[in-house]
Structure 1
Amino acid sequence: MQTLFRYNWGVREEWYKWCEELPEEELVKTRIGGMGGILQTLVHIVDVELSWVRDMEGKPDLRADFTEYNSLQKIRELDARFRPEVESFVLAWHEGLERKILRDERPDGRVTEDAWGEIMRHIIAHEIHHIGQLSVWSRELGKKPVSANLTGRGLAAYLPGKV
Structure 2
Amino acid sequence: MQTLFVYNWKVREEWYKWCETLSEEELLRPRTGGVGGILKTLFHIADVEWSWIMAMQGKPDFEEDFAEYSTLDKVKELDARFRPEVEAFVLGWHEGLERNIFVDKRYEGEKAIDAWGEIMRHIIAHEIHHIGQLSVWARELGHKPVSANLIGRGLRETLQGKE
Partner of residue 103, structure 1 = 103
Partner Cα distance (1:107, 1:121) in 2: 21
Per-residue deviation, 1:105: 3.3
Is contact 2:43-2:75 (8 Å) kept?
yes
SS at match of 1:100: coil
Per-residue deviation, 1:43: 0.6
Structure 2: runs of 5+ lacking an equivalent: none
Partner of residue 41, structure 1 = 41
SS at match of 1:150: coil
Q: Look up the equivalent residue of 1:155 and give its one-letter code.
A: L
SS at match of 1:27: helix
Number of aligned residues: 161
Is the aligned partner of 1:59 residue 2:95?
no
Partner of residue 87, structure 1 = 87
Following superposition of structure 1 onto structure 2, how do residues 119-138 of structure 1 map, counting pairs within 5 Å? 119-138=119-138
Partner Cα distance (2:107, 2:89) in 1: 27
Q: CA-atom RMSD, angstroms?
A: 1.5
Q: Over residues 56-101 of structure 1, what are the superposed CA-to-partner deviations in whole Å (9 max), with x where a residue is unaligned?
A: 1110112223111111000000011110000000011000000001
Partner Cα distance (2:85, 2:159) in 1: 20
Q: Which has the higher helix share?
A: 2
Partner Cα distance (2:100, 2:73) in 1: 36
Partner of residue 153, structure 1 = 153
Per-residue deviation, 1:114: 2.9
Q: Look up the equivalent residue of 2:10 and give its one-letter code.
A: G
Is contact 2:101-2:112 (8 Å) kept?
no
Per-residue deviation, 1:158: 4.4
State the identity as a percent. Answer: 72
Q: Over residues 109-133 of structure 1, what are the superposed CA-to-partner deviations in whole Å (9 max), with x where a residue is unaligned?
A: 3522230000000000000000000
SS at match of 1:58: coil
